Structure 1
Amino acid sequence: MTVRVMLISPAHSGALREARFDDDGPLDEAGTHRAARAADAVPGADRLLTAPDTRCRQTAAALGLRAEPEPAVRAWDLGRWRGSTLADVTEEEPDAVAAWLADPAAAPHGGESLHALRERTGGWLEGLTDGGGRVLAVTDPAVVRAAVLYALALPADAFWRLDAAPLTLTELSGRAGRWNLRIGRPLEP
Structure 2
Amino acid sequence: MLISPAMNAALREARFAGDAALDASGVRAARLAAPHVPDADRRVHGPSVRCAGTAEALGLRSSGEPALREWELGRWSGARLDEVGARESEGVAAWLGDPSAAPHGGESLLGLCARAGAWLDSLTGDSRVLAVTEPSLVRAAVVHALALPPQAFWRLDVAPLALTELTGRTGRWNLRVGRPLGDRQGGGEADRGTS
TM-score by length of 1: 0.95
Tell me, in whole angstroms, the C-alpha distance in 2 between the residues paired with 1:69 and 1:25: 16
> After the TM superposition, which residues 134-153 of structure 1 pair with which residues of structure 2 at under 5 Å, given as runs?
134-153=128-147
1:156 aligns with 2:168: no
Q: CA deviation at 1:22?
A: 1.6
Runs of 4 or more consecutive aligned structure 1 residues displaced over 3 Å after TM superposition: none
Structure 2 counterpart of 1:133, from 127, 135, 141: 127
After superposition, where does 1:75-154 map in structure 2 within 5 Å? 75-128=70-123, 130-154=124-148
Query: In the aligned structure 2, how far is the partner of 1:22 from the partner of 1:119?
Result: 19
What residue in structure 2 maps to residue 21 of structure 1? 16
- How many percent of aligned residue pairs carry the same amino acid? 62
Give, in whole Å, the separation in 1 of the partners of 2:27 and 2:17. 17
Q: 1:68 aligns with which of 63, 67, 76?
A: 63
Highest RCO, 1 vs 2 (Cα 8 Å, sep ≥ 6):
1
1:31-77 deviation line (CA, Å, top 9, x unaligned): 00110111000000000000010000000000000110001111111
TM-score normalised according to structure 2 size: 0.92
Cα offset, 1:132, TM superposition: 2.8
Deviations 1:76-125 (A, max 9, x none): 11111011111111110011111100111111111111000000000001
Deviation at 1:135, TM superposition (A): 0.0
RMSD of equivalent CA atoms? 0.9
Provide the secondary structure at the position in 1 that maps to 2:131. Answer: strand
The one-letter amino acid paired with 2:13 is E
SS at structure 2 position matched to 1:174: strand
SS at match of 1:38: helix
Which one-letter code corresponds to 1:148 in the other structure? V
Gaps of 5+ in 1: 1-5
